[in-house]
Amino acid sequence: MKSNLFSLSFPLVAASIFSLLAMTSLSSNADWTSNAPPIQAGTPQDVVISLKLNPMSDPEAACLSVTLARALKGGDPSANVTLFPTLDGVAMGDSKVVSSRRFKCTTPWGELSLQENLEAFMDGNPNNMVVCPICWRERYGDQLPDYGVLNSNAVGAVLLNAEKILDF
């Protein structure tokens, strides 16, 4: 009976000791401060943030994708960050959707409407957002988006040059 108890409890005790040692090691080496400098890439990056969810049904994904795009662009001004709405996410190009008062984004710059956040990211440059032309036309016909550009050639350039693609 004793050997049975020992053989059952030994792995549990060993795992507990290992966990304690690992946590002690992590906590002494990890930087948990909130005032640490931002992480920067060694060279400018081409980053594409793809949004496939409709802002009307998933405002959190819309806010997060735009906020992340702004933060990446602000972290390294020479980085090329493009917002690429596809599928139902193309509603980001529709001012009636983006200007909806129900959207409030909690950002590092304070609480902003989705429209304020998107306009700050775009910074007057419609090329910062390339709207999937196939998805847009499927939903909006020949209407042009209020935000972003419809350009089949830009889609290829954006995706082929991307070093990183983040998908929402």
In a domain, 155, yes or no: yes
pLDDT tens for 88-118 read: 999 999 999 999 866 789 999 999 999 999 9
Least confident of 11-25, 67-81, 139-153: 11-25
Does any domain span residue 16? no
Check whether 69 has a pLDDT greater than 50.
yes
Instruction: Give the model's pLDDT for residue 49.
Output: 97
Considering its fold, how many domains does the chain have in total?
Answer: 1
Q: Is 120 inside any structural domain?
A: yes
Query: Which element (helix H / strand E) includes 107?
Result: strand 104-107
Please indicate, yes or no, if residue 6 is contained in any of the structural domains.
no
The answer to whether residue 35 sits within a structural domain is no
CA distance 99 to 97: 6
pLDDT reported for residue 131: 97
Instruction: Report the percent of the chain where pLDDT is more than 90.
Output: 54
Q: Does 90 map to a domain?
A: yes
Domain assignment present for 41: no
Q: Residues 81, 73: contact at Cβ < 8 Å?
A: yes
Tokens, residue 136: 């847009």
The whole-angstrom separation of Cα 68 and Cα 82 is 11
CB 79 within 8 A of CB 49: no
**Residue 88 domain-assigned?**
yes
The predicted pLDDT at position 60 comes to 93
Range of the domain at 129: 46-167
Angle at 104 between CA 63 and CA 92, to 5 degrees: 45
Which CATH number fits the domain that encloses residue 132? 3.40.1260.10
pLDDT tens-place string over residues 20-31: 444 443 334 444
